[in-house]
Amino acid sequence: MAAVEKRIDLGPDDKEIERLTAQHKIMKSCYEKLILAPIDLSKPGLRILDSGCADGLWLREVQPLIASPHSLIGTDFNPNLFPSDPPGQIMHQAQDITKPWPADWANSFDFVHQRLVLGGCGPFGPEKAVKHMIELVKPGGWIQLDEMDLAGEQQLPGMGGELGRIIRAVFEASGGQWDFATKMKQWMIEAGLENVEEKTIHVAFGKSNPDPEIAKLGIWSLTTSTKALCFAGKTEMGIKGFTEAELDSMGERCEKELIETGVDSPMLSVWGRKPL
Ligand SMILES: C[S@@+](CC[C@H](N)C(=O)[O-])C[C@H]1O[C@@H](n2cnc3c(N)ncnc32)[C@H](O)[C@@H]1O
């Protein structure tokens, strides 16, 4: 029997952009830099892809670091998220990572980046999606994938562990895998990439973030996404392993822990280079 695919929907697009913007600021505050792959950004003419880019914020943030001229492309399967008037040299195009990429994009990018999208692969599976993205990288170019380490998250005490388990349940209910982050490095090595490196970054949501404004954003964004996940889990996703009382109270319990102590979520970033 074919695997069932249910799309994960966390709410209206404008609210989702607000939540993703907050989440971006929190991650940025914990990453030493957004591009960890050792690319020479001073070289003019770079062609860079951000896959699953939502409203393209990551591209707009890295653009000032990249020598001009350049060509920055942001794709997402939901084109309603794209900005109506992106800055010059940034272009957006609808693309589902589980569907074939434009044939003329093969071997064409100096850098392919993707953050927090592999959970949206459904039954197609993240391994094939990563393989197809590697095909877009030109010889000598780099790919960097940033994903939540759900295996590590589930081991956390308190709300961190509970959140890890509910995100896993939602990915599973969508017909997808959940344990892809710890496999990305192996997939890159198997695809023949060189200089493959992996780094764990602890993203501090709520009180544990040293910047009080970013701490506030963490309380709001993680509470909002927890409530949306619990609602989706209870209704259209029909997740298993949680009581109704647990799902109904998780948002408020999460908010309390974020205010009192904070939740430090592990992210895994992996990057590698296609041989010349
Ligand atoms: C959690 S958001 C991350 C957005 C952005 N990469 C960031 O880090 O802020 C996931 C994004 O992936 C997109 N997405 C989910 N499944 C996808 C798929 N199969 N193909 C392309 N985009 C997908 C969603 O529309 C959403 O914009």
Q: Whose CA is nearest to atom 8 of ligand 1?
A: 115
* Mutation to probe ligand 1, out of 55, 82, 117 (largest number of atoms < 8 A from CB): 117
pLDDT bucket at 176, cuts 50 / 70 / 90: confident
Cis peptide before 123 (omega within 30 of 0): no
Tokens 């974020």 sit at which residue?
Answer: 258
| 15, 42 contact by CB (below 8 A) | no
pLDDT bucket at 222, cuts 50 / 70 / 90: very high
Domains parsed from the chain with CATH numbers: 13-273 (3.40.50.150)
How far apart are alpha carbons 181 and 270 in whole angstroms?
9
Helix (H, G, I), strand (E, B) or coil at 46: coil
| Two tokens, residue 68 | 């001009």
How far apart are alpha carbons 92 and 25 in whole angstroms?
22
Reply yes or no on whether the pLDDT at 205 is more than 80. yes
Tokens 């692969």 sit at which residue?
Answer: 121
Higher pLDDT pick, 4 / 5: 5
How, if at all, do strands 263-273 and 137-148 pair? antiparallel
Ligand 1 shell residues, CB under 6 Å: 20, 24, 52-54, 58, 76-78, 81, 96-98, 115-117, 120-121
Query: Mean pLDDT over residues 37-41, rounded?
Result: 98
Q: Whose CA is nearest to atom 25 of ligand 1?
A: 78
pLDDT bucket at 237, cuts 50 / 70 / 90: confident
> What percent of the residues of the chain are helix, what percent strand, and what percent coil, each to the nearest 5?
45, 20, 35
**Amino acid at residue number 96:** D
pLDDT of residue 4: 45
Kindly report, residue by residue over 15-27, the tens digit of the pLDDT. 899 999 999 999 9
* Mutation to probe ligand 1, out of 77, 221, 265 (largest number of atoms < 8 A from CB): 77
